[in-house]
């Protein structure tokens, strides 16, 4: 089972759309997706960096991993509207750790308004789905893919995210299937 949880305030329709998409995609691979209770933001307050006014992404993963073990899930994906960063990077859209079986994505930089574009709810949700698929791919052992249309292509900016399809290319899909056979 893949457990999807919101962290703090996240619009219900984003969780619903991401849950439905990864739910139907991963169901075809034999893994059901469940939406769990929202986690309080203060679980992650030690990730906050007041100088940057951002949250250190990696600190989200151990608590999510602990939840994964409690719930006996294969993977946990957290969705937050908090702004995430990593050392050496201005921000990250999300991150994952295969060993921990955990990933987190941020919706903070996915809104068209953040880039001076007109609000577009459909585009916002599409971006969230792509980030979710990307980080779950990492959880299940996939690396970055050179195919810019593949959801496992690295997103340096939102333009890279918009070029991608929301799914794995045939090569990544083949690897994912193999990895899941070992895991399940
Ligand atoms: Zn990545
Ligand atoms: Zn690929």
Given the residues 86, 87, 135, 165, the one annotated as active site: 135
Ligand nearest to the CA of 137: 1
Query: Is 135 an annotated catalytic residue?
Result: yes
Residue 146, burial from CB neighbour count under 10 angstroms (0-12, 13-18, 19+): exposed
Ligand 1 center to 65 CA (angstroms): 18
34 band by pLDDT with thresholds 50, 70 and 90: very high
Both tokens of residue 63?
A: 């608590």
Ligand 1 center to 143 CA (angstroms): 7
10 band by pLDDT with thresholds 50, 70 and 90: very high
The CATH number assigned to the domain holding 73 equals: 3.40.390.10
Both tokens of residue 176?
A: 């994912």
Task: Decide: 113 and 128 in contact? Cβ < 8 Å.
Answer: no
Total domains present in the chain: 1
Domain limits for position 34: 2-183
Q: What pLDDT score was predicted for residue 182?
A: 78
Q: What pLDDT score was predicted for residue 184?
A: 66
Residue 10: name the closest of 18, 2, 1 by CA.
18
| Residues 36-90 pLDDT 10s | 999 999 999 999 999 999 999 999 999 999 999 999 999 999 999 999 999 999 9
| Residues 141-183 pLDDT 10s | 999 999 999 999 999 899 999 999 999 999 999 999 999 987 6
Ligand 2 center to 177 CA (angstroms): 13
Task: Decide: 40 and 22 in contact? Cβ < 8 Å.
Answer: no
Ligand nearest to the CA of 92: 1
Ligand 1 center to 155 CA (angstroms): 7
Q: What pLDDT score was predicted for residue 80?
A: 98
Residues with CB under 5 A from ligand 2 (ion): 145, 147, 150, 152, 169, 172
What is the DSSP code string of 74-107?
SEEEEEE-SPEEBTTBS--SEEEETTTTEEEEE-
**H helix or E strand, kind and range, residue 26:** helix 12-27
Helix (H, G, I), strand (E, B) or coil at 157: coil
Would you put residue 100 in left (φ > 0), alpha (ψ -120 to 50) or beta? alpha
What single-letter DSSP state applies at residue 117? P
Ligand nearest to the CA of 144: 1
Neighbours of 20 (CB within 10 A): 13
| Residues 101-150 pLDDT 10s | 999 999 999 999 999 999 999 999 999 999 999 999 999 999 999 999 99
Residue 165: name the closest of 180, 137, 139, 106 by CA.
137
| Cα gap 4→136, rounded to integer Å | 11
């Amino acid at each position: 089972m893949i457990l999807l949880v919101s962290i703090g305030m996240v619009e219900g329709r984003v969780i619903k759309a991401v849950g439905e998409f990864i739910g139907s995609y991963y169901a075809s691979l034999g893994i059901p997706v469940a939406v769990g209770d929202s986690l309080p933001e203060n679980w992650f307050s030690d990730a906050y960096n007041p100088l940057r006014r951002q949250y250190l992404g990696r600190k989200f993963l151990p608590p999510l991993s602990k939840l994964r073990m409690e719930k006996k899930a294969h993977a946990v994906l957290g969705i937050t509207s908090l702004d995430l960063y990593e050392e050496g990077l201005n921000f990250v859209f999300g991150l994952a750790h295969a060993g921990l079986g955990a990933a987190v994505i941020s919706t903070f930089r996915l809104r068209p308004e953040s880039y001076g574009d007109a609000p577009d709810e459909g585009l916002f949700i599409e971006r969230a789905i792509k980030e979710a698929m990307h980080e779950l791919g990492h959880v299940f052992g996939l690396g970055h893919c050179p195919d810019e249309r593949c959801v496992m292509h690295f997103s340096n900016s939102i333009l890279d995210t918009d070029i991608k399809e929301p799914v794995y290319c045939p090569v990544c899909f083949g690897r994912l299937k193999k990895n899941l056979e070992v895991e399940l």
